[in-house]
Every structure is written in structure tokens, then in C-alpha cells.
Amino acid sequence: MASGFSYTAGRSRCFSYWQEFSKCYAQADAPSQCKAQAEDYLECLHRAKEIARAQEIKAEFVKQAKKHAHDRTTSDILSDGVIVGVGLIQRDH
């Protein structure tokens, strides 16, 4: 976390998570006490869990769509209802 500022000159998306982790780390006796805060911060940065969940939802959507439409191709199924985002993290615009 270099500065805490985003490209649009406001706070970065993960700055509050960084502050929580930094505060915990400064007050903790052992770094392992701040594991939850560190995980929250890293998830905000890399969105690994969000991406994995979105992929699971998309796979289930395709699976169910294939089940209900035997004669249609996968591309036809996807064009009917594309999953753009799952909205797990709200973005400030």
C-alpha cells in the first residue's frame, strides 16, 4: 500500500481494509493475531474468492441451461443470459 490514493484522487478501494490491518498489526503481540484482517485486505486487492464464486455461479448457470435446452448450443445459451457480475463487492462510482 503505497499511498492510499486511487487513480481518481480519492481513497483506494481497499484503503479501509489496509487501515484495519495496519492498526491490528501495530497493536498485536504476534502477527498471527491479524490473520483475519490480512485475509480481508488481500481479498479486496486480488478478489480471488469473488472470482471463484462468480466462476461457480457461471458454471452452474451453464449446466442448468444445458439441462433445459438439449438442442441449443452453449453459445446460444450464454447469449440469452450472460452473467456480468455477482455484486459481492460494491464499487463507488
Rounded Cα gap, residues 66 and 61, in angstroms: 9
For 34-77, how does the pLDDT look when each residue is reduced to its tens digit (9 = 90+)? Answer: 999 999 999 999 999 999 999 999 999 888 877 776 656 666 66
Query: Dihedral of CA 47/81/77/63: which sign?
Result: positive
Residue 78 is predicted with a pLDDT of: 66
pLDDT tens, residue by residue, 5-39:
677 778 888 999 999 999 999 999 999 999 999 99
Is the full-model pTM beyond 0.85? no
